[in-house]
Amino acid sequence: MNIRIGNGYDIHRLVPGRKLILGGICIEYELGLLGHSDADVVLHALSDAIFGALALPNIGVYFPNTDPQNKDLDSGEILSFAKNKLWEQNFAISNLDITIIAETPKLSPFLDKMKASIAEILSISTSQIGIKATTNEGLGDIGKKKAIAALVSVLLVAI
Ligand SMILES: [Zn+2]
């Protein structure tokens, strides 16, 4: 069986005056993630995991933050682009495992909604997506509520 594994990591700063977009959904919060696009760390780490599994370059090569066209870009478009890349190479997603590291806000009420949003963008079932949130136990910049990070593992199977 031809299978491919990939992993992705991303982190963005939490700042006032920005919307908090995570896993393709908007979460009501006093801070949001800073970035050239909508700064959705979950979709960025996930896209990079897919690119990595396909031995392709990372997200910054396809969507440079110097390109004005990518300003405030919906990261769902980046993930759709990654999906097309895996379809082009005749792979399908077996499963995803996503970890979000955030001190605040509490993300557990939003995980099912994120799962549904990711399943829709990737045209897969929610049963193929694991998603969990953890804190950084008050340590480092994530623990001081200055940033949110995401880690993603993906397994692809040839079709
Ligand atoms: Zn990013």
Domain boundary assignment for the chain? 3-158
What are the structure tokens assigned to 14, written together? Answer: 């939490």
Q: What are phi and psi of 8, to 5 degrees?
A: -140, 150
pTM of the model: 0.96
How far, in Å, from the CA of 10 to the mean position of ligand 1? 5
| Superfamily grouping for domain 3-158 | 2-C-methyl-D-erythritol 2,4-cyclodiphosphate synthase (3.30.1330.50)
How far, in Å, from the CA of 140 to the mean position of ligand 1? 19
For 133-155, the DSSP string reads EE--TT-HHHHTTSEEEEEEEEE
How far, in Å, from the CA of 149 to the mean position of ligand 1? 9
How far, in Å, from the CA of 44 to the mean position of ligand 1? 5
Which residue type sits at 29? Y
Tens of pLDDT along the chain (159 residues)?
799 999 999 999 999 999 999 999 999 999 999 999 999 999 999 999 999 999 999 999 999 988 888 888 999 999 999 999 999 999 999 999 999 999 999 999 999 999 999 999 999 999 999 999 999 999 999 999 999 999 999 999 999
Which residue type sits at 159? I
